[in-house]
Amino acid sequence: MAGRPRGIDDVVILRATAEVIGRVGPAGLTLAAVAREVGLVPGTLVQRFGSKRGLLVALAEQSVKDADATAARARAEHGTALDALAALVTEWLAPMAIPERFANHLAFLCLDLTDPQLHRHALAAHLAQRRAVERLLASAATAGELRAGTDTAALAGSVQAVTTGAGLTWALERSGTLAERVEYELRALLAPYATAPHTTAPHTTAPHTTAPHPDTPRHPEAPRHPDRPRTPEEA
């Protein structure tokens, strides 16, 4: 005899888990909180995932699966691979679009770094995202969007490092939106490798920009930087 229908897919529950994480952080994440988010009873989540740890492991495993699907969708929806890459990294960071949510997700990353089992799954998700980035960069190179000889594998690592750092910098400075800051930093990173400068310029000027000091040399193709604290020399 077939079992009773599951009613709500695991993927829906895992997305709700990410939403609850952003709102309440590690201290507030419980099976009961996630169950309320999706309209289930906590016992249903216990049956499916076993425990809060099991739910977090499942969330990390889903992130691995989502990396390929999200990258493929971004590529299909954008005219160039570099535009698809910008859309991809901003989508990955979208759940952290306000500083408080960023802080809560960062707190969970700290758990991943100290718990061996959670670290293993978090690393797998991180590497899956790296592969997705590298595939888009390889596609950009094949299409002639990047200069010949660009080491797309090494550049993929730099993309992850720069976009992750951009998120933290944005959370501290709180200027503009997270998406604007990440896209700016990504395109600034890619500018030296791009064959067409206009393809790496931000689509819109970042808000609250600060004019450079008149004595500060700058590359003529460099995009303007979002607002930041002024140095004593610029004051």
- The string of pLDDT tens digits covering residues 54-70 is 999 999 888 888 888 88
Average pLDDT for residues 41-56, to the nearest whole number?
Answer: 93
Strand partners, 194: 146
φ/ψ of 184, rounded to 5, equals -60, -50
Q: DSSP alpha helices (H): ranges in the chain?
A: 10-28, 31-38, 42-49, 52-77, 81-93, 99-114, 116-142, 152-173, 178-190
pLDDT value, residue 6: 59
Dig out the tokens for 39 from the structure: 């309209």
Higher-confidence position of 204 and 11: 11
Give the model confidence (pLDDT) of 153-162 as tens digits: 999 999 999 9
Give the model confidence (pLDDT) of 91-129 as tens digits: 999 889 999 999 999 998 998 899 898 899 899 999 999
